[in-house]
Amino acid sequence: MSLLSRLSSTVRSLARDPSVRRGVRGLGRAALRAAEQQRGAGDRAGSGQAPDPRGVDSRGADGSAALADRRPGVPLRPSYDPHEDDRPDPGEIVWAWVHYEEDTTRGKDRPVLVLAEEDAAVGGTDGSGTVLVSLMLTSRDRTEAGATRTDEHGATWVDIGAGDWDRQGRPSEVRADRLLRLSPAAVRREGARLDRERFDRVVAAVRATS
């Protein structure tokens, strides 16, 4: 087989690999957001407004405004349904732009655990179509391994250990008392699948704080 034929065969094999496709999709979304940030910085410079030194943006990966957190008191129906289908599913940890709790115009990229899919009108008054009800993750140590704890600020954290969503292999904790609503288009890339036992433990903490 010639060198050209071997190269063509390798390229075709890579193109069929789901992990390669996810990586390409992630690179495309990252490039889109970088372009949006660059354009936004140019707009701010032209208006005399200084660029944000923290590099945060008021929009998600798809360029849309952030959705408000899910309103309290509305029953949630979590489901565990991860699939290898290049889309965010309940039970998966994905990367998305998450706004700060005190300011929906500012935020950062971070991993989130998808709990459920629901119509936007169920848990809020903004957005349309299907939204992902999710929980933010942090690698900061806020409770003991395998434990659940409510801190002095009233936030409840569930330790879920380490997984493929963190390339450094650091243990993570999920905030169970803040339910995010994300547009599926705002998801930048898939990170990993959380096993059912840990997923159910997180769901139990969410219900305990509702």
Q: pLDDT tens-digit profile of 100-136? A: 998 888 999 999 999 999 999 999 999 999 999 999 9
pLDDT in the model for residue 36? 39
* Res 210: pLDDT: 82
Residues 46 and 74 in one domain: no
Same domain, 32 and 68: no
Asked whether residue 108 falls in the same domain as residue 143, the answer is yes
Same-domain check for residues 47 and 70:
no
> How far is CA 190 from its chain centroid?
8
Domain that holds residue 12: 1-51
Number of domains in the chain: 2
Residue 7: CA count within 13 A, CB half-sphere: 3
Stretches where the chain sits below pLDDT 70 are 1-64
Q: Is the pTM of this model over 0.85?
A: no
Instruction: Tell which of 51, 72, 89 closes a domain.
Output: 51
Say yes or no: 10 and 30 in one domain: yes
160 and 123 in a single domain? The answer is yes
Please tell me the predicted confidence (pLDDT) of residue 93.
96
Q: Tell which residue, 140, 132, 168, 173, has the closest CA to residue 156.
A: 173
